[in-house]
A and B are shown apart, each in its own frame.
Chain A
Amino acid sequence: MAPQLQLGDLPPAAIPNSAEVYPAVRPGVAAQGAEVYRSLGCNQCHTRQVRQDALLFGARLTETGTNGVNLELPGSGKTNFVNFDLLIALAKVRTDLAIAPIALPSGLAGDTNVAPKFAQFGANLALLKRSDDKSGIARPTTGPSVNELAARRPAEVLAQVGPDAAERAVKLLGDAGAKAELVIYNLGPDMDRGWGARRSVARDFLNDSPVLLGSVRVGPDLASIGTRAPEKFAAPWKFASTNTATELEQHLLVHLYDARLLAKGSTCPSAKYLFDAQKPEVRYAGEPLTLPGKDAPVFPKHNARALVAFLLTQRTDVGLPEAPTPAVAAPAAPAAPTAPAKP
C-alpha cells in the first residue's frame, strides 16, 4: 500500500511561465497510439525509463556586473573593465587557479574612483593569501588564472560538483556584483546516449493506463523518443531541412514500416500490416509515405499514425522539482517537435 499512499495523489507539475501542466493529457490520436503500443507489445523490447547515475551541479558566470573599474586611462578611448571583487570571489571558488597580479597604471594612481578600490583589492588579496595559508592551499602562481576566467562569458566556473559547492559559488559571485547561474548535470550512460535529458520519474506516467514501463532493453529506451536528436538514434541520421517535426514523424513511420530500411541488423519487428500498399478507398487517406530506396509509396493506416503520435509525446525535457533538467539545453538538442504535426 505504501507506494499508493506516496504516489496516489501526485499532481501534475505546473510548467513555469506558461499555463500548461506536465504531463499534459495526450491528444486523442496519441492516446490511441498508446493502445497500439500495448497491443503490439512494444514494451516487451523497449523500456520507457531513463536511468540516471548522478545529479551534479555547477556554476556558470554569465555577466561580470557593473561595479568594475576601467584600468585604461580616461580619454584614451579604450576600456578594460576589471571587477576586483569578482576576481577575489572566483579565487575563493577556484582554489586551483592562479590569480594574476594587476598593476595600476601610473596615470590612475591619483584617480579618486580607482585608487581606493585598488587599495581595497590589495588588502583583500592579502586576506585571501592568509586564508589560503591557513587552510593549506598552495595556489599556483602561473598557468590558468581566475583573471582569464573572469574575462570569458559565459564561463563555467564550477562543473559537476555537489549542490553545496555550486550554490556557494553562485552566491559568492552574486555578492561580487556579477551574475551567475546554477547549472544542472544529469549524468549517466543513458544521458550520454542522448536517451533523455533527465531520469524518468513517477510523475511522467500520471496519464498512462496501463503504465508500460517495460523491463528489458532489447531496443533503445523510448522515454524521450519524441525529442531524440537524429544523431542519437541507434542508427544515426540527419535532418535534411528545417521542418524537423515532420521529418522525425516520417522517420518513425519508415522505422515502423521496416526498421531494416534505416538500420541494417535492426531486430525491431516491422509493422508492415499498419500500412496500405495501395491508396485506400477512404476520404482522408493521409499523405503517402515515401520509403528510402523504393519507388512506390505506402499509405500509413490510422493506427500507424496514432502510434507515431504517441511516440512523439514521449519526452523527458520538462524539468520537475524531483528531476530537474539542464536549464540551458545542450547545443546539439533538436528543435523539440511538440504535438504531432499532422493528424
Chain B
Amino acid sequence: MTSTQPASQTACATAPSVVEVEASCRLPVLFLSFSGVAWLVLGAALALLASVQLYVPTFLEGCPWVTYGRLRPAAINALTYGFALQIAFALALWLIARLGRVPLTNPLGLFMAGKFWNIAVTVGVYGVLAGDASGYDLLEFPLYASLPLFASYACIAAWALVTLHQRTERDMYVSLWFVLAGLLWFPWILSTAQGLLLGWHVPGVVQAVVAGWFGNNLLQIVLTGFAVAVLYYFVPKAVGRPLANPALTQVGFWLLLLVGGWGGLSQLSAVPAWIPAVSGAANVLVIVPVIALLIPLWQTADGSISDAWKASATFRFMAVAAFLLLGVTVRTAIFGGHFTQFTLFAAARTDIIVLGVFGLAALGALHYIVPRLTTGEDNLPSDGLADLSFWAGIFGMLAVGIGFSLAGLGQAKVNADATKDFLVNGVSGIAGALQLVTFGYGALALAALAFLANFALAVRRCCAACCGGAR
C-alpha cells in the first residue's frame, strides 16, 4: 500500500476480511484473556485472605509467607500486572486489529511474549510472598521479576505498534488514541521509575515521590485510558449509533494526558509541601477531562440506555464502569485530601480503578470478544453465567469500594481526633466494614470464575464444532 495508489483501491487490495483479522487474534487474545481473568481469580483470592487478617489477626498466623504485609502487595500486584495490564494488552491487540482492519503481526510471538509475561508475574508474586518486595507501592515486584516483565512487555508493545502501523483503515478511531497512548505511556513511566529507583538511586523521599508518580500514572492514564478506549468502542456499538461529539473527546484526551499524571501523591506527608499541594490540585482538575470524555458517551447512548441495558451484557458492564470512573474521580477530588490521608479510604482508589473502572469495562469487553473468537456467535454459551458474572462483579466491586471507604472514614476520624481511642475506634471499630470488603473480593473472584466457566464452555463448543463433534 503505497501512497500513490488511490485510497479506494488500497482498501480493496489490502483490507483483510473480518474472518482473517479474527483468526490472527485468536491465539494471543484468547490466551491473554484467559490467563488475565485467571489472575483476577487468584489476585482477588489473595486480597480476600489479606483482608480477613485485618479483623481476625490469628488467621494464617505464624507463617511469614502469608502475613498481611506480604499478601496485600502480592494481591495488588497480581491484580494490576496479572489481571489488569494483561487484559489491557489483549484488548489493545483486538482493538488495533479490528479498528485498523489488519491481522496481528506475529500472533505466535505475541502468544510467547504473553506467556513470558505470565511467568514474570508469577515469579514476581512469588518474590513478594518470599519477602523480596521492593517496598514501593505498585512497583513491589523484585528486580528479577520486573526486568523480564519489561522485556516481554517490549515484545508485545513492539508487535502491537507494528500492527498499528500496518493498519489498512488509516483513520484512527478514539479508542486507538487511548490504546496508543497507553502502550507508549506505560514503558515510559516504568523505565523512568525503575531507572531512577534502581539505576540512579535517588536518595530519600524522592524515591517515594517517584514511586507515587509511577503508581498514579499507571492508574490515572494507562489503566483509565484503556478503560476509556473500551468504553468508546463498545458503547456506540451497543446502542448502534456513531460517536457523538468527537471534538470534545479530543479535548478530553489531551487534557487527561496533561493533568492526569500530576495527581495521586496524597499519601506523602514528609515531603516539601508543594508536592501534595500540586497533587491535590491535579486531583481536582482531572475531573475536567473525565467529564469531557464521559459526555460524548452519554450523548451517544442517551435515549437508548434502557434498551441497550436489557439487550447487551457488555453494555451493562460498560455503563457501570463509566459510572465508577466518574465516581472515583469525584471521590478523590473531594475527599482525597488531608482528612482521608493514611486511611484505607485513600488506598481503595487503586482497587476501584483496577477492578472497577478498568476491570468491569474489561470483563464486559471480553463477554463480547471471546464468543466471537471462539464459537463465532454473539454471546457466550451460558446467559446464566454471564448474568452471574455481571451481578457478582458489580456487587463485589461495590462491597470492596464501600467497605474500604467506610473503614477509611472510621480511621480518618481517629487520625483527626486524638481523644478517640486508637484500638477501640480505629481497629475494632472498622471490623464490620472490612468484612464487607472480604465479601466483595469473594464476589469478584466468583464473577471471574463464572466468566472463565463460560469461556471454557465456548472453547469446548468451538472444538466440538471443529472436530465434528468428536470428543
A contacts, CB < 8 Å to B: 3-4, 6-8, 10, 38-45, 47-51, 189-190, 192-193, 199-206, 208-220, 234-235, 259-260, 263, 265-273
B101 located at the interface, meaning its Cβ lies under 8 Å from any Cβ of chain A in the complex: no
Which residues on B sit within 8 Å (CB–CB) of A218?
54, 344, 411, 427
Q: Is the CB of A44 within 8 A of B73?
A: yes
Other contacts beyond A269-B67, A273-B63: 5, CB < 8 A: A3-B205, A45-B69, A216-B343, A218-B54, A271-B64
Chain B residue nearest in CB terms to A263: B423
Closest CB-CB distance, A69 to chain B, in whole Å? Answer: 47
The interface centre, meaning the residue of A47, A193, A267 with most chain B CB atoms within 10 A of its CB, is: A267
Q: Is the CB of B64 within 8 A of A213?
A: no
Closest CB-CB distance, A41 to chain B, in whole Å? Answer: 2
Selected from A3, A50, A260, A266, the residue in CB contact (under 8 A) with B275 is A3
Q: How far is the CA of A50 from the CA of B338 in the complex (A)?
A: 13
Q: How far is the CA of A331 from the CA of B281 in the complex (A)?
A: 41
List which B329-363 residues lie within 8 A (CB) of chain A: 338, 341-344, 346-347
Given known contacts A40-B70, A193-B422, is B427 in contact with A202 (CB within 8 Å)?
no
List which B20-40 residues lie within 8 A (CB) of chain A: none
The interface centre, meaning the residue of A43, A206, A210 with most chain B CB atoms within 10 A of its CB, is: A210
Chain A residue nearest in CB terms to B341: A51
List which B440-460 residues lie within 8 A (CB) of chain A: none
Which residues on A sit within 8 Å (CB–CB) of B469?
none
Chain A residue nearest in CB terms to B419: A192
Q: Is the CB of B61 within 8 A of A272?
A: yes
B contacts, CB < 8 Å to A: 53-55, 57-58, 61-64, 67-70, 72-73, 131-137, 196-197, 201-210, 267-272, 275, 338, 341-344, 346-347, 411, 415-419, 422-424, 426-428
Chain A residue nearest in CB terms to B269: A49
Given known contacts A38-B135, A40-B69, A41-B69, is B423 in contact with A192 (CB within 8 Å)?
no
11 intermolecular pairs with C-beta atoms under 8 Å apart: A41-B69, A42-B69, A192-B419, A202-B271, A203-B204, A210-B136, A210-B207, A211-B135, A212-B135, A213-B269, A266-B57
Which residues on A sit within 8 Å (CB–CB) of B202?
4, 8
Q: Is the CB of A41 within 8 A of B70?
A: yes
Which residues on A sit within 8 Å (CB–CB) of B207?
209-211
Which residues on A sit within 8 Å (CB–CB) of B417?
189
Which residues on A sit within 8 Å (CB–CB) of B61?
269-270, 272
Q: Is the CB of A213 within 8 A of B62?
A: no
Say what secondary structure dominates the interface of chain A.
loop
Closest CB-CB distance, A159 to chain B, in whole Å? Answer: 18
Q: How far is the CA of A50 from the CA of B64 in the complex (A)?
A: 28
Q: Is the CB of A211 within 8 A of B205?
A: yes
In the A-B complex, the 6 residue pairs with the smallest Cβ-Cβ separation, listed nearest first, are A41-B69, A192-B418, A215-B267, A39-B131, A200-B270, A210-B135
Which residues on B sit within 8 Å (CB–CB) of A48?
270
Q: Is the CB of A216 within 8 A of B342?
A: yes
Given known contacts A211-B204, A213-B208, is B423 in contact with A41 (CB within 8 Å)?
no
Q: Is the CB of A213 within 8 A of B270?
A: yes
Q: How far is the CA of A204 from the CA of B269 in the complex (A)?
A: 12
Q: How far is the CA of A65 from the CA of B59 in the complex (A)?
A: 66
Chain A residue nearest in CB terms to B201: A209
Which residues on A sit within 8 Å (CB–CB) of B419?
192
Q: Is the CB of B206 within 8 A of A7?
A: yes
The interface centre, meaning the residue of B67, B205, B418 with most chain A CB atoms within 10 A of its CB, is: B205
Which residues on B sit within 8 Å (CB–CB) of A214?
342
Given known contacts A39-B132, A209-B207, is B418 in contact with A44 (CB within 8 Å)?
no
Which residues on B sit within 8 Å (CB–CB) of A204?
270
Given known contacts A41-B68, A199-B269, A200-B270, is B136 in contact with A205 (CB within 8 Å)?
no
Q: How far is the CA of A213 from the CA of B53 in the complex (A)?
A: 22
Q: Is the CB of B57 within 8 A of A268?
A: yes
Q: How far is the CA of A200 from the CA of B208 in the complex (A)?
A: 14
Q: Is the CB of B272 within 8 A of A217?
A: no
Selected from B131, B341, B424, the residue in CB contact (under 8 A) with A40 is B131
Selected from B57, B69, B341, the residue in CB contact (under 8 A) with A44 is B69
Q: How far is the CA of A8 from the CA of B417 in the complex (A)?
A: 35
Q: How far is the CA of A42 from the CA of B73 in the complex (A)?
A: 11
Which residues on B sit within 8 Å (CB–CB) of A193?
418, 422
Q: Is the CB of B270 within 8 A of A234?
A: no
Q: How far is the CA of A48 from the CA of B196 in the complex (A)?
A: 22
Chain A residue nearest in CB terms to B71: A41
Q: Is the CB of B427 within 8 A of A267?
A: yes
Closest CB-CB distance, B408 to chain A, in whole Å? Answer: 8
Chain B residue nearest in CB terms to A51: B269
